[in-house]
């Protein structure tokens, strides 16, 4: 099978272990030259609407407000927080696979980059699932929400919007959120989870940087100013709000400029001002 047929099969796979194995094998085979973008793939494997990727029957998907609070002072609280991270990583596998499958006619480096991301997200999912098992839980034991995939569906028609709003918005928010979570587990004495989260944070800088690279590439192809276009897309798509404080060091390493971070901070402050005035 060519790239798009194999990616679609992995995307549709509902079993987490099989999906992780498929993502890992795709990246290994790509590196070895055993999978390629075939000219006839576009006709043989057309882009299709995929409102729901393959996923197990659990966890139950609920509105974000119904996802339990995640303190780390108890076994259940640590389990709930780890489950939330595992769900993000599982979604991230699907998001990377979909970025490969859905958008055609891009340079080979684009596809190789997102295959690597899919494999790394599979590794992350496995690391966090192992920590869940140490606590007596598994993926599916807590409810979760579907916000990440819903944004992927919204951006399914435009790779530029996808690069802006998934890696550059949602995954970049992970760069900001992970260090405080990491510190909470460090204070709780959970060295194993700290080590897993440090791997995830390190790799996620590269994932956001990859999204930044292809966002800027697509903006240049269209003759659009990248940072102004990013702000415009946030409004056009009704994207989740920007939430400082930022992990400035990680965001700069991932491709954000200091001027852009200042603009995003002002945007967040302007959005918060009416709420403070009520």
pLDDT, tens digit, for every residue of 69-120?
Answer: 778 889 999 999 999 999 999 999 999 999 999 999 999 999 999 999 999 9
Residue for token digits 């992990």?
A: 247
Nearest to 215 by CA among 202, 203, 224: 224
**Is residue 200 pLDDT above 70, yes or no?**
yes
Does 218 fall in a domain?
no
Residue 266 has pLDDT above 70, yes or no: yes
Domain assignment present for 241: no
* Token pair recorded at residue 82: 């780890």
pLDDT attached to residue 277: 53
Q: What percentage of residues in the chain have a pLDDT greater than 90?
A: 78
For range 244-273, the mean pLDDT = 93
In a domain, 56, yes or no: yes
126-150 residue pLDDT tens: 999 999 999 999 999 999 998 888 8
User: By C-alpha distance, which of 123, 117, 82, 84 is closest to 99?
Assistant: 117
169, part of any domain: no
Q: How is residue 232 written in tokens?
A: 């415009």
Residues 60-70: tens digit of each pLDDT? 999 988 887 77
| Res 275: pLDDT | 54
**Is there a domain that residue 93 lies in?**
yes
67 is a domain residue: yes
Q: What is the pTM of this model?
A: 0.94
Instruction: Tell me if 86 is assigned to some domain.
Output: yes
276: pLDDT strictly greater than 60:
no
pLDDT, tens only, 21-34: 999 999 999 999 98
The residue segments making up the domain with residue 124 are 1-145
Does residue 200 lie within any of the structural domains?
A: no
| Mean pLDDT, range 232-248, rounded to an integer | 92
Structural domains counted in the chain: 1
DSSP H helical ranges for the chain: 3-12, 16-31, 41-44, 75-102, 108-134, 147-154, 159-165, 172-187, 191-222, 226-236, 248-253, 258-277
């Amino acid at each position: 099978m060519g790239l798009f047929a194999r990616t679609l099969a992995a995307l549709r796979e509902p079993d987490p272990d099989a999906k992780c194995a498929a993502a890992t094998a795709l990246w290994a085979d790509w590196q070895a030259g055993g999978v390629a973008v075939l000219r006839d793939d576009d006709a043989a494997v057309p882009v299709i609407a995929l409102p729901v990727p393959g996923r197990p029957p659990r966890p139950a998907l609920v509105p974000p407000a119904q996802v339990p609070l995640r303190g780390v002072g108890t076994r259940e609280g640590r389990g709930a927080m780890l489950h939330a991270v595992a769900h993000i990583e599982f979604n991230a596998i699907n998001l990377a696979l979909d970025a490969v499958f859905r958008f055609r006619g891009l340079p080979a480096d684009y596809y190789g980059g997102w295959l690597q991301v899919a494999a790394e997200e599979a590794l992350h999912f496995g690391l966090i699932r192992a920590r869940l098992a140490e606590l007596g839980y598994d993926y599916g034991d807590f409810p979760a929400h579907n916000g990440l995939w819903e944004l992927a569906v919204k951006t399914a028609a435009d790779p530029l919007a996808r690069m802006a709003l998934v890696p550059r918005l949602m995954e970049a928010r992970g760069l900001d959120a992970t260090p405080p979570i990491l510190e909470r587990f460090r204070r709780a004495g959970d060295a194993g989870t700290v080590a897993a989260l440090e791997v995830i944070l390190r790799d996620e800088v590269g994932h956001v940087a990859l999204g930044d690279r292809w966002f800027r590439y697509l903006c240049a192809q269209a003759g659009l100013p990248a940072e102004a276009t990013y702000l415009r897309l946030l409004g056009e798509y009704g994207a989740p709000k920007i939430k400082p404080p930022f992990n400035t060091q990680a965001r700069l390493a991932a491709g954000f400029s200091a001027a852009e971070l200042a603009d995003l901070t002002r945007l967040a402050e302007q959005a918060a001002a009416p709420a403070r005035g009520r």
